[in-house]
Chains A and B, each alone.
Chain A
Amino acid sequence: MSSQSQPLSPSFSRPFEHALLEVAARPFPWGPGALLVVAFGLLPWLADDYWLNAILIPFLVLSLAGLGLNLLTGYTGQTSVGSAGFMAVGAFATYAFLLRVPALPLPLALLAGGAIAAGAGFVFGIPSKRIKGFYLMVTTLAAQFFLEWVFTKFPWFYNHASSGTISAPRLEVFGHDISGPGGRYVLTLSVVALLTWIAHNLVRGQVGRNWTAIRDMDTAAAVIGIEVDRYKRLAFAVSSFYLGIAGALWTFAYLGTASASSFDINRSFQILFIIIIGGMGSIAGNFIGAAFISLLPLFLSQAGQALLGSSVDPGQIQNLQKIIFGALIIAFLIKEPEGLARMLRRFAARLAVWPLRF
C-alpha cells in the first residue's frame, strides 16, 4: 500500500476528475527479478554447452510457444491445434527477411517474422467469428496442414535448397557474433523475458480483461459492449506473433536449421500439452509445463541409465520411461486439472500457514 500520508480531503468541492487517485505501489517482483539475475548473470558462465544447447534454450523456446498458445486458448478460450504451423510461418518469414534483406538486423528480422506470423494468425482467426469450440479447432487443424504443405511445396520459401531445409545465414546483433551457445542463450532469454513481460502486462490490462470475458462467456461479453470478433481475431494475431517468434528461435537459436516437418502436428500437440499440464490462463504455467514436457524425459532417460545401466535392455528402459511419463501426466491431471502452476500456488499457500492445515 502507498505510504503517502496526505489525508484525503473530506470535501467534495473538487470535481470528480480531480479526485486524488491513489495507485497501490506494486511491490518489487523479487522472485522473477532474482530469476532473471541468475538467468542472465550466472547461467551463461556456469552452464556448459550441454546445459545451454540441449536443455535451457529449447526449454525457453517451448515456454514462449506455450505462452503464445496460452494467450489464445488459456485467456481467450479459443482452442487451437495449429500452433506449429504458425511457428513455421515465423521461422520461414524470419529466414526470408534475413536472406533477402541483408541490411536488416536480427532483432528486427525476428520482429518482422513475428509480424508475418501475426498476419497469418489473423487470417486463420477470421472463422472464429462464426464457429466455436471443436469446429474452430478443426479450422486450426486445417491451418496446420495447409501451412506445412505451403512450406514444402514452394521452393522460394527455402531458397531452393535441395532438401527444403533452411538454416540461419548469420547470427549477429549489432556486430556481435552470437552464434556460440552463450550468445544464442542470451538472445533467447532476452526475447523470452521481454515477451513474457509484455504478455504479463497485456493480460492484466484492458485487452486481457476483454479476452477473459470472452473466454468465460462470449454472449455476456458482447452484452457489456466488448467487440467479441475483434478481440478474438486480436487474440489469434497476438498468439501467432508469439508462436512465430518461438518458431524463429527454435530454428535459429536452437537447432540451427528447420524444414516444414520440424513443425508438424506433433509439435502442436506438444505445445498444447505444455499449457494443459502447466496451467491454462497462467503465465508461469507455460514455463512449468515446458519444463515438465521437455526436461522430464531427459531426466528419466539419464536416471534410467544411471540406475539400471546396462543390465536391462535399453529399449525396455525407454518403454518404462514412457510408462512413467504417461502415468505422471495422468496423476497430475487427476490431482490438479488446472495444471501444475495452480498446484504450486496451492502448495505455496499451504507452506505459508504451515503447520496449520486448511
Chain B
Amino acid sequence: MRNILKRTVLAATLAAALMGTAPVTQAATNEQFIPLPTYRVGPYASSGIPWWAGVIDYLRYINEVEGGVDGVKLVWKECETEWSTDRIVECYERYKKGYNGAPTAFFFTHSTPASYALMDKGVADRIPLVDPAGGRTESTDGSVFPYAFPLLLNYYSQASVGINYIAQKEGGFEKLKGKKIVTVFHDSAYGRETQAPMELLAKKYGFENIQIPVADPGNEQSAQWRQVRQIKPDWVFLRTWGVSTPVGIKTAARFGIPVDRLIGDVWAGSEADVLPAGAAAKGYQALAPFPGGADFEIHRRLRKFILDAGKSDLKDPKFFGSVYYNIGLINAAMAVEALRTGHRKFGNRPLNGEEGGWAFEHLDISDARLKEIGFFGLLQKLKLSCNEHEGGGAARVQQWDGKKWVLVTDWVQADRKALRPLIDAKAAAYAREKNIKPRDCS
C-alpha cells in the first residue's frame, strides 16, 4: 500500500519514456523537407518576421501555383531559435534526417556564428549549409569546404563592392589614391571580418584605411564620430548591425558628416536601420545584394496568387517588398533553383543532403532564367562550381529617399580576383589546422 504512489510515479515515468522513444513512421512521400530556423521572437524579431514571411510565401507559391518543384511538393517545419547559436544547432540536429520520410537537402543557417558551429557537422552528415551574404568567408573555397555555401556575396566581397562603388562615384580607381576611407564597424566577429580585404585594397589603390570600432550594442557613439570628424574622411563605410546602425547615422549627422558619404553594408541597409534615424537617414546609401522594393515581377505574381488570396504569412502587408521580406524571397528562390538543378541530374524526386550539396555546387542561374522566375533585378546571376561556392559576388546600391529604398546602380561586381588569394590562404590554413585533404576540383 505504502508504495503505491511510488510505483505509480515510476510507472508513469517509464510509460512517458517509452512513448517518447516510440518511432513515428510514415510512408515516404514525394515531398522535399525544408527546415526553417526562424527568429520570430527575441531581439531580432523585427527582421525575422518579414524574412520568414518571404520564404514561406515563395514556397507556398511554388507549391500551390506551380505544383511543387518539378512535381515534388515542399514541406517545411519551423523551429524558433531567437537567433541563438545553440538553438540553431538544436534545430539542425532535430531535422537533419528529414521529417516523416521527407529528406532534408540543405540547411539555411541564417547566422554566421551558427555557420561556424555547424561547419564540421555539415561535412560529417553531408548536409549543405547555406548562409547567403554571410557565413565563413574562406568557405568560398569549396575544395576545402565541400558542404558550406556563403552564397551571393561573402564578407570580403562586401568590402570590395563598397570600394568599387566609391571608385565609381569618384570617377575611377586612380582617383582613390590618397583618399581617406573610414570603416566604422561593430566590434564583433562580423565587424572585424572585412579588415583583411580592406587592408589589401588600400594597398592596391593607395587610399588610407582607417578602422574605428563601436562596442556592442552601440547605443552611444559620440566618441567614435568625433574621431571621424577629426579625420575628415572622404567616405565612411558603415559596418554596424542592429541598433548601432540608426544611432551611427544620427550621430554622424550631429557631427556634420554628410549622410550621402555614408555607405552601409548589407546588414546595415534595411528599413529597420533607417526608419529609427528619421530625417537624418535621407540620402543614406547601402549595399544591396537583396534590394528592397515591391515592383519586381515576382512581387506581381505573389500579390496575385498569395497576398490577394489571403495566403500570405505576412501579418502586416506594409512589409511586402521590404528588404527583409525580399531576403526571404531570394533565399527561397535560390533553394528552389538548386532543387531543380538537382532534379535534372537525379530525377524528379526528393533529394538528400549529398545530392543537395551537388545541386548547390552546380547551381547556374542565368539572366534569362531570372526573367522566367520573375527575379530579374532582384537577384544577381549566379554560377557556382566545385571550388567556387559564392557564385555571385555583386550587389546593387540603394539609397533611402526618406520613404523607401531607391536602387541607384545596377550590379556592382566585387574584385574577386584580387581577393581570392586571401581566401585561398585562409582555406589552406584551415585545412592544415583540421587535417583536411582538399578535394580535387579540376
Binding site for B on A (CB under 8 A): 49-50, 53-55, 58, 99, 149, 152, 162-165, 167, 169-170, 179-180, 254-257, 259-262, 298, 301, 305, 313-315, 317-319, 321-322, 351, 354-355
A-B pairs with beta carbons under 8 A, tally: 110
**Known contacts being A54-B90, A255-B117, A256-B117, is A262 close to B2, with CB within 8 Å?**
no
Enumerate chain B interface residues (CB-CB to A < 8 A).
1-2, 4-6, 9, 38, 40-41, 45, 49, 77-80, 85-86, 89-90, 93-94, 96, 112-113, 116-121, 124-125, 136-138, 155, 187-190, 192-193, 196, 215-216, 315, 426, 433-435
Interface centre among A49, A149, A313, A319 (most CB of B within 10 A): A49
Residue of B nearest to A179 (CB): B120
Q: What are 30 pairs between A and B in contact, CB < 8 Å?
A: A49-B125, A54-B93, A54-B94, A152-B187, A162-B137, A163-B112, A163-B116, A163-B136, A163-B137, A163-B189, A170-B435, A254-B86, A256-B116, A256-B118, A256-B121, A257-B116, A257-B117, A257-B119, A262-B113, A298-B90, A301-B79, A301-B80, A317-B80, A319-B41, A351-B9, A354-B2, A354-B4, A354-B5, A354-B6, A355-B5
In the complex, the chain A residue whose C-beta lies closest to that of B6 is A351
Q: Which of A58, A149, A257 has the most CB of B within 10 A?
A: A257
A162 in contact with B193 (CB, 8 Å):
yes
Q: Are A53 and B192 in contact (CB under 8 A)?
A: no
A325 to chain B minimum Cβ distance, whole angstroms, is 12
Q: How far is the CA of A200 from the CA of B408 in the complex (A)?
A: 66
CB of A312 to closest CB in B, whole Å: 12
What residue of chain B has the Cβ atom nearest to residue A356's Cβ?
Answer: B2
Q: Are B41 and A315 in contact (CB under 8 A)?
A: yes
Q: Is A256's CB under 8 angstroms from B113's CB?
A: no
Q: How far is the CB of A162 from chain B (nearest CB, A)?
A: 5
A261 and B113 within 8 A (CB)? yes
B6 contacts A165, CB within 8 Å? no
Q: Which residue of A lies closest to B432 (CB)?
A: A169
Binding site secondary structure of chain B: helix
Interface of A is mostly: helix
Contact (Cβ within 8 A) B189 A261: yes
Q: Which 10 A-B pairs have the closest CB atoms?
A: A315-B40, A163-B189, A54-B93, A164-B189, A54-B90, A318-B80, A255-B117, A257-B116, A50-B93, A53-B93
Residues of B within 8 A of A162 (CB): 137-138, 155, 192-193, 196, 426
Residues in B whose Cβ lies below 8 Å from that of A164: 188-189, 192
Q: Which of B41, B85, B124, B216 contacts A322 (CB 8 A)?
A: B41
**Closest B residue to A353 using CB positions:** B2
Measured between beta carbons, the chain B residues less than 8 angstroms from A314 are: 38, 40, 78, 80
**Chain B positions within 8 Å of A152 at CB level:** 187-189, 192
Q: With A and B bound together, what is the CA distance between A152 and B192 in angstroms?
A: 9
Contacts of B189 in A (CB 8 A): 152, 163-165, 259-261
Q: Which residues from B are CB-within-8-Å of A305?
A: 77
Across the interface, B94 reaches (CB within 8 A) one of A50, A149, A315, namely: A50
**Residues from chain A with Cβ under 8 Å of B41 in the complex:** 315, 318-319, 322
